Amino acid sequence: MYAVIRTYLGAGAKQFFTLLEQRNADVEATLRTVPGLVSYTLLNTGDGGTAVTVCTDKAGCDASLKVARDWIQKNASHIHANPPIVTEGPVIVQIK
């Protein structure tokens, strides 16, 4: 398995996560199209937030980045949030 973590901070991050919360059903439906999706978690930190995506392989996580970028361009480009800090790598342990 492989994971990607996107952390949104600074300009527009709080407004962006407010929008994500309002549109959570749309976000969920969009992310479910990612091939090999194992899990997706969206955390609101109050001043922004973090998205954690786990897929069966790196290709799935790469696809999730593209899907997220496309959704943001279509639905949230007016917010002008800073690009996320992206951290990714192979999953060592996952407990369900």
| pLDDT mean over 36-50 | 96
How many of the other CB atoms lie within 10 Å of CB of 86? 12
- For residue range 56-67, list pLDDT tens digits in order: 999 999 999 999
Q: What is the pLDDT of residues 78-90, one digit of tens each?
A: 999 999 999 999 9
pLDDT recorded at residue 51:
96
Q: What is the pLDDT of residues 13-28, one digit of tens each?
A: 999 999 999 999 999 9
**At 55, is the pLDDT very low, low, confident or very high (cuts 50, 70, 90)?**
very high
d(CA 1, CA 73): 28
User: Which residue's structure tokens are 């407010």?
Assistant: 18
Q: What is the CATH number of domain 2-90?
A: 3.30.70.100
> Which H/E stretch holds residue 87?
strand 85-90
Q: What average pLDDT does the chain have?
A: 95
Residue 93's pLDDT band (cuts 50, 70, 90): very high
The answer, yes or no, to whether residue 96 has pLDDT greater than 90, is: no
Locus of tokens 């922004």: 48
